[in-house]
Amino acid sequence: MKHEIEIPDLPEDLEAVAYRKPKAGEYYLTPDWITVEALHDYKLSHLIVRKKQPRRIVLEETGRHRGLQYLLKIDEGNLILPPGREYKIVEDNK
């Protein structure tokens, strides 16, 4: 069974992965909120973290033209594209 908890004060660019003993090469948080790379396997449990990856969306021209601006739906928001060529999403890493 998985449970999700909120970690107040976790830096915006990090996401929690697990709470367990760090393995060599993984990043974890110290009690002072400092991110450290484990140099070897540890015996004590820590909060394992990783940097959040920026979102990447690739658009491709459809070959059609629009006379008016239109919206391209992305999650809960819209990307407003000007009049001209029409595009579609071909890759979304989210």
CB atoms within 10 A of CB 29: 19
Query: What is the model's pLDDT at position 86?
Result: 78
Closest CA to 38 of 46, 48, 29, 26: 26
For residues 16-45, average pLDDT: 84
Q: In this predicted structure, what is the pLDDT of residue 94?
A: 63
pTM of the model: 0.53
Q: What is the pLDDT of residues 34-90, one digit of tens each?
A: 777 888 888 888 889 988 877 777 888 888 877 776 677 776 677 777 777 777 777
Q: Are 52 and 13 in contact (CB under 8 A)?
A: yes
Instruction: Return the bridge partners of 61, or none.
Output: 87
The answer to whether the CB of 19 falls within 8 A of the CB of 48 is yes
Note the Cα 13 to chain centre separation in Å: 9
